[in-house]
Structure 1
Amino acid sequence: MDKFLDKKYKLVRSVNYEQLLTEIGVNVLSRKLAKTLTSTTQLVKKNDDRYALITSTILNIMSKYLEFTPNEEFEERTMSGRKVMNIVKFEDNKMIHKQEDEKPLIIERRFFENEMVSIITYGDIICTCWCESYRHENLDELLQEMNLPGWLRWISKKLNITTQLVKKDKDYYQLRTTALYTTTREFKLDVEEEILTADGGKQRRRKVKNSFHIEGNKLIEKQIGEKSLIIVREYFDDELIVTATMGSTVCRSWFKPVQTK
């Protein structure tokens, strides 16, 4: 499992997740939060025989820290608040976690280079979750170059963003969705417009000239101001690669198509 240590995997899709939470006995509010918030999972090694599985969300109350020694039983609280005995085993690229309760809960996490698949079995319910390897390069450096305050940089790194490009007649719409907000941005190709940057707080925002144009499978956005920003969105059938350049800082982000149920 060593080659998968410290990698961050972000939840992108799940099947039967709410049914599983209902069956386990999780209350309605917690179920709604669990469905809305995107989690990031990371397996780390504490020492020679101790490991920790860290599940993070933007809300600490929904985050989880599980420390264990493989093949040794330990006590843990379930999502519904009960204390039960647990055991975790490693088999090749699999982490198998069993909770002994009235109905045993089995979580099999299969780790891959760019993906983690979790298969959760509880009674007759089988829930499958797909997580993509968290892939950003130089995101914090770019956010600092953009003069975003620390709190906004922290939120930006925690939030999972879903982006969608829509065309209606001659206009285009760029939709950005997170657990906290949804924004819709309308633009025309090859037309320069004046916009306010998103630097966090009205006193920080700057007016810049903004334009979009298309080259092949690339949507290129240019913000021309005191600090110019160029964002190249490169679309493929199974991936979106976003390259943002400001000064000497180059940030790259990778997105996969998602379908949430």
Structure 2
Amino acid sequence: MEDFLDKQYILVSSENFEDYLVFLGISYIARKTALTLRPIQILSKDNEGRYTLTFKSRLVNTAVTFTPGQEFDEIKPDGVKVRASIAFEGNKLIHIQTEANGRTAKHIREFFQDKMIMTTTANGFNKTAVRNFELVQS
């Protein structure tokens, strides 16, 4: 993952993302707003070995700090509190979120030199949401 630290990846396209938001119960207006955003994702690491995954957009900026392989509490952008874990496998960041009702979502971010592809699956969601990000050239 070291090769992908501190790089900015901006959303350029999505497939089935609105369907995923419907599955989560996100309201119509909130969904339509979310679909207009072109968020940037950044993975960084501090001196103590903790990582931060930052999400920036014109409406909302959030970040989650984690130690790979350790569970932590997370509040998703929709306000739902989940138990989460993040692990690395090669060039993949695997982010698992479990809600209090047992519903689990899995977000796999696969990093490349010029892009990042995020795939999202969830138990009960019969599709895969794919979001494509491009490296922001500085």
Fold similarity call, TM over 0.5: yes
User: Which protein has greater RCO, CA pairs closer than 8 Å, 6+ apart?
Assistant: 2
Distance 1:41 1:65 in 2: 9
What is the aligned partner in structure 1 of residue 133 from structure 2? 131
Distance 2:64 2:103 in 1: 21
Correspondence 1:87 to 2:85: yes
Say whether the 8 Å CA contact 2:115–2:135 is kept in structure 1. yes
* Larger radius of gyration between Structure 1 and Structure 2: 1
What is the aligned partner in structure 2 of residue 100 from structure 1? 98
Say whether the 8 Å CA contact 2:82–2:98 is kept in structure 1. yes
Distance 1:122 1:79 in 2: 17
Say whether the 8 Å CA contact 2:62–2:77 is kept in structure 1. no
Q: Which runs of 5+ in 2 are unaligned?
A: none
TM value normalised by structure 2:
0.91
Query: Quick one: which of 64, 67, 74 aligns to 2:65?
Result: 67
Return the letter of the residue paired with 2:25. G
> Which consecutive segments of 4 or more residues in structure 1 shift more than 6 A?
none
Say whether the 8 Å CA contact 1:25–1:80 is kept in structure 2. no
Distance 1:112 1:50 in 2: 21
Distance 1:28 1:66 in 2: 26
What is the aligned partner in structure 2 of residue 35 from structure 1? 35
Report the RMSD for the aligned CA atoms in angstroms: 1.2
CA distances 1:26-51 after superposition (whole Å, capped 9, x unpaired): 22222111100111111001223211
Q: Which runs of 5+ in 1 are unaligned?
A: 137-261
Distance 2:127 2:23 in 1: 8
